[in-house]
Every structure is written in structure tokens, then in C-alpha cells.
């Protein structure tokens, strides 16, 4: 069959969401951030909530997410997104409010804001991109860096005895009374991308049910910081990060 | 027997040549071209058109939402 006969509107199965702007995303080629930004756009479009959603942008590589998603956004100081989201959601309870944060943002400088927002059971969705590194500033060690992982500030690999243990903050958040849905996902292949999309959909729906906070950790790659190709980074993540940060739901009330 | 035929269209200017779609395609349809786009990336293209089944695996994993997928059932 000639290709022109396949490429017809009635045969369309997948295309870029209209919520995603035409501005080129500034992420490095193959970065997990791009996939998750894209999924946020798809879920917002499918739920038809473009006018009713407010995102809170982090400091980190995703700082310009507000340019890529055509929705309302507030940029927060480093790590403070859950506090800003708390205020927005309390003042505008009829809006879907989410934060989008890296592991440096959420699990280092913003640890207090993260834990207390979840402990208060704020009716927000927290998207947590865990690439085990400070991507934006040149790949320094983060609290989430795993044992033996090389970064700019631990070039011989993290040593748990010296540097402390990788902070599994998602496990901590799952035991708090205030959280209703805590899950760990990834976006390295077609199946995992679809699962993460379902998780985002559930998280947004929860935020309108008064059930408490939903947290989605996406175990991610930073191929530039890890000094690998995108494909190598995905494989390295599956082999080394998944044993420390296992996939699946930790809590679903 | 009905057969599934697929096709993809790559937004070559958005493409950053990350190669993840090439890895994701179960039918080895996609390759990176020798040509480059305005940003200097060797954009992805359908090298093996006939093999595409329109599964959209390439499009799901693309971090830059470059790939549009079409699929049609053909009666033989
Ligand atoms: C108050 C403050 N401290 C430090 C910085 C420097 N800084 C910018 S981004 C960043 C870390 C970002 O890492 P992460 O949250 O893991 O996001 P990624 O870039 O990996 O997506 C740091 C420390 C800052 N901008 N503001
Ligand atoms: S530095 Fe890392 S996290 Fe940041 S855009 Fe590049 S690959 Fe992504
Ligand atoms: S739609 Fe499926 S078969 Fe076609 S190029 Fe994409 S991954 Fe390959
Ligand atoms: S996954 Fe997307 S950005 Fe990467 S090579 Fe394929 S089309 Fe280009």
C-alpha cells in the first residue's frame, strides 16, 4: 500500500498534543523530562482541563516548563513548589494544581516543603523526576545519587559510608497520613510511558476528590550528566536505579 | 487475511536525533538520516517503510513529540 494512502487524517493514531507548544523544548536530546512534559500535555488535553489547571514550575532543568505547556503556571523558588501549590489550591480549590520537580528540588533543598505539604494532605499532584543528579548545574551529587554512582562531585562514585545513603523520599511520603496515592514509574519504553500516563491521570483526578496528596516519582535519566547516550542511560537506569527505586504503587487509597 | 500497515511522519525540525525511537521500534523501521536539520541534528526517518505496523512505540518514547503515527487495516 502506498504511503500516501496510509497518511490520512482518518488513520491517525498518535500525534503531538495541542497543549504542547511549538517552542522547541530545551532539554538535552533523549532527556526523560521531555517525555514527562509531553505526557502532562496529553493528559491535560484528554481531560479537557486546559483552562482549569495550574502548574508550579521548579528550579532545575524543567524551570522553563511553562513555555512548553500552554496552561497557567507559577514559578517557585528552588524546592518551594509544594508550598506555592498549597496556597494556590487553598485559594482556588476548583483548579487542578500540580508541581513538577526534580530530585534536587524536591528531595534536597525542598525536603521540608515536600514532607509538610504531603503530611498536611494538600489536594495537589506532585510530579517528581528522579534522575539521581543535579542536572541543570552540571551533574553534582544529589541526596538521591545511588551508591557507587559517579557524578561531578563524587567522580569516584558515591560512597554511602561517607556521603550517607540515597534518600528514598517516596517511601517516606507513602507512610504519611496525608498522601492518598504514591507510585514510582518510568518512561524508558512504550509500556512504561503508557503506565506513567495512567498514573498522571489518576493523580489529577484524586486532586479533586479531597483525598489528599498524590505523588508520582518518575525514575528518570540525565544522559548528559551521566555522560552516556540516551539508550545507554535507559539501560543503566533499569540495571542500577530500579533495584534502589523499584517500580510500582506504594500506596493507592 | 487483514494486515496492518502503518506509517510515521517525523517533524524533522523538532527532532534531536536522540535515537530512542530507533531503539523502540520493534520492526527496525527507523534510522537517523545522513542529512541534518537546521539545528544540526541527523533527524529520524522511515528507512524501511514497508515494515511499519503503526504500533506507535516510537512516538510514545520520543521526548520531543516529533512523531505522528498512522495505521490502516488492509484486506488481502
Ligand atoms: C536557592 C538556590 N540554590 C541553588 C540553586 C542552584 N541550582 C539550580 S538547579 C539546581 C539543582 C537542580 O537539580 P534537580 O532538581 O535534580 O533538577 P534537574 O536539573 O536534574 O532536572 C541547583 C542546586 C538555585 N537556583 N537556587
Ligand atoms: S542536563 Fe540532564 S536533566 Fe537536564 S536536560 Fe540535560 S539530560 Fe535532561
Ligand atoms: S509505528 Fe511502530 S513499527 Fe512503525 S516506526 Fe513506529 S515503532 Fe516502528
Ligand atoms: S525519538 Fe524523537 S527526537 Fe529522538 S530521534 Fe526519534 S524522532 Fe528524533
Q: Does residue B64 sit at the A interface (CB-CB below 8 Å)? A: yes
Distance from CA of B34 to the nearest CA of A (A): 17
- Nearest CB neighbour to B70, from listed A11, A190, A193: A11
- What distance in Å separates the CA atoms of residue A90 and residue A112, rounded to the nearest whole number? 19
Q: Which CATH code is given to the segment(s) B3-74?
A: 3.30.70.20
SS3 for A74? strand
Tell me, what's the pLDDT at B35? 97
| Domains contained in chain A, CATH given | 28-133+142-252 (3.40.50.970)
Residue A182, all three cell numbers: 504514591
- What distance in Å separates the CA atoms of residue A164 and residue A178, rounded to the nearest whole number? 27
Q: Does residue A30 sit at the B interface (CB-CB below 8 Å)? A: yes
Mean pLDDT (whole number) for A164-173:
98
- What distance in Å separates the CA atoms of residue A85 and residue A116, rounded to the nearest whole number? 12
Asked if A213 contacts A122 with a C-beta cutoff of 8 angstroms, the reply is yes
Dmax (CA) for chain B in angstroms is 44
pLDDT tier at A1, thresholds 50, 70, 90 = confident
Ligand 2 atom nearest to CA at A33: 8
| Residues 6 or more apart whose Cβ sits within 8 Å of residue A191 | none
The residues lining ligand 2, judged by C-beta closer than 6 Å to any ligand atom, are: A 27-28, 31, 33, 61, 131, 135-136, 222-225
Tell me, what's the pLDDT at B56? 98
- What distance in Å separates the CA atoms of residue A152 and residue A133, rounded to the nearest whole number? 9
Domain boundaries, chain B: 3-74
Dmax (CA) for chain A in angstroms is 63
Percent of chain B whose pLDDT exceeds 90: 93
Q: Is the pLDDT of residue B1 over 80?
A: no
Residue A108, all three cell numbers: 534536597
Share the mean pLDDT of chain B. Answer: 96
Asked if A40 contacts A100 with a C-beta cutoff of 8 angstroms, the reply is yes
Tell me, what's the pLDDT at A72? 98
Beta-carbon count within 10 A of B72 CB: 18
Tell me, what's the pLDDT at A185? 98
517511601: which residue's cell? A171
Q: Nearest to residue A202, comparing CAs of A168, A246, A242, A251?
A: A251
Instruction: Kindly determine whether residue B5 and residue A6, on different chains, have CB atoms separated by under 8 Å.
Output: yes
Q: Is the pLDDT of residue B76 over 80?
A: no
Closest chain A residue to B53 measured between Cα atoms? A6
Is pTM, for the whole model, over 0.95?
A: yes
SS3 for A176? coil
Q: Is A228 exposed, middle or buried (0-12, 13-18, 19+ CB in 10 A)?
A: middle
Residue A121, φ and ψ in degrees, nearest 5: 70, 40
Percent of chain A whose pLDDT exceeds 90: 99
Residue A146, all three cell numbers: 545511588
Instruction: Report how far ligand 3's centroid is from the alpha carbon of A234 (Å).
Output: 19
Tell me, what's the pLDDT at A73? 98
- What distance in Å separates the CA atoms of residue A160 and residue A144, rounded to the nearest whole number? 11
Q: Does residue B70 sit at the A interface (CB-CB below 8 Å)? A: yes
Q: Nearest to residue A83, comparing CAs of A108, A109, A117, A50?
A: A117
Q: Does residue A194 sit at the B interface (CB-CB below 8 Å)? A: yes
pLDDT digits (tens, 9 = 90+) for A70-102: 999 999 999 999 999 999 999 999 999 999 999
Q: Which residues of A touch B26 (CB under 8 A)?
A: none
CA angle A195, A42, A97 (to 5 degrees): 90
Which ligand minimizes its atom distance to the CA of B63? 4
Number of C-alpha atoms within 13 angstroms, CB side, residue B19? 9
Tell me, what's the pLDDT at A22? 97
Q: Is B29 exposed, middle or buried (0-12, 13-18, 19+ CB in 10 A)?
A: buried
ipTM of the complex: 0.96
The residues lining ligand 3, judged by C-beta closer than 6 Å to any ligand atom, are: B 6, 8, 24-25, 27, 29-30, 52-58, 69
Tell me, what's the pLDDT at A42? 98
Tell me, what's the pLDDT at B75? 81
Instruction: Report how far ligand 2's centroid is from the alpha carbon of A201 (Å).
Output: 25
Cα A4 to the chain's mean position, in Å?
38
Mean pLDDT (whole number) for A120-130:
98
SS (H, E, C) A100-118: EEEHHHHHHHCHHHHHHHH
559510608: which residue's cell? A161
Q: Does residue B29 sit at the A interface (CB-CB below 8 Å)? A: no
Amino acid at each position: 500500500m502506498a504511503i500516501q494512502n496510509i497518511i490520512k487524517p482518518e488513520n491517525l493514531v498518535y500525534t503531538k498534543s495541542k497543549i504542547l507548544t511549538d517552542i522547541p523544548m530545551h532539554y538535552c536530546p533523549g532527556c526523560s523530562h521531555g517525555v514527562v512534559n509531553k505526557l502532562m500535555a496529553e493528559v491535560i488535553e484528554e481531560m479537557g482541563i486546559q483552562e482549569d489547571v495550574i502548574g508550579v514550575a521548579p528550579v532545575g532543568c524543567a524551570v522553563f516548563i511553562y513555555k512548553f505547556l500552554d496552561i497557567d503556571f507559577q514559578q517557585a523558588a528552588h524546592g518551594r513548589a509544594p508550598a506555592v501549590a498549597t496556597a494556590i489550591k487553598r485559594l482556588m480549590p476548583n483548579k487542578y494544581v500540580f508541581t513538577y520537580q526534580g530530585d534536587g528540588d524536591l528531595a534536597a533543598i525542598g525536603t521540608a516543603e515536600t514532607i509538610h505539604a504531603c503530611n498536611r494532605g494538600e489536594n495537589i499532584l506532585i510530579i517528581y523526576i528522579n534522575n539521581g543528579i543535579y542536572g541543570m548545574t552540571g551533574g553534582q551529587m544529589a541526596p538521591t545519587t545511588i551508591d557507587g554512582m559517579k557524578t561531578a562531585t563524587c567522580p569516584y562514585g558515591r560512597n554511602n559510608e561517607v556521603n550517607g545513603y540515597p534518600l528514598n523520599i517516596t517511601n517516606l511520603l507513602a507512610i504519611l497520613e496525608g498522601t492518598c496515592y504514591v507510585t514510582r514509574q518510568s518512561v524508558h519504553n512504550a509500556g512504561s510511558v503508557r503506565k506513567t500516563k495512567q498514573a498522571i491521570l489518576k493523580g489529577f483526578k484524586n486532586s479533586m476528590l479531597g483525598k489528599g496528596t498524590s505523588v508520582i516519582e518518575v525514575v528518570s535519566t540525565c544522559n548528559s550528566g551521566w555522560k552516556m547516550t540516551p539508550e545507554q542511560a535507559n539501560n543503566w537506569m533499569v540495571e542500577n536505579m530500579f533495584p534502589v527505586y523499584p517500580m510500582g504503587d506504594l500506596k493507592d487509597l | 487475511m487483514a494486515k496492518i500497515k502503518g506509517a510515521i511522519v517525523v517533524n524533522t525540525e523538532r527532532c534531536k536525533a536522540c535515537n530512542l525511537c530507533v531503539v523502540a521500534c520493534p520492526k527496525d523501521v527507523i534510522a537517523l538520516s545522513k542529512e541534518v536539520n537546521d539545528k544540526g541534528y541527523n533527524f529520524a526517518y522511515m528507512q524501511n517503510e514497508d515494515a511499519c505496523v503503526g504500533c506507535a512505540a516510537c512516538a510514545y518514547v520520543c521526548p520531543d513529540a516529533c512523531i505522528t503515527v498512522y495505521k490502516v487495516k488492509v484486506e488481502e
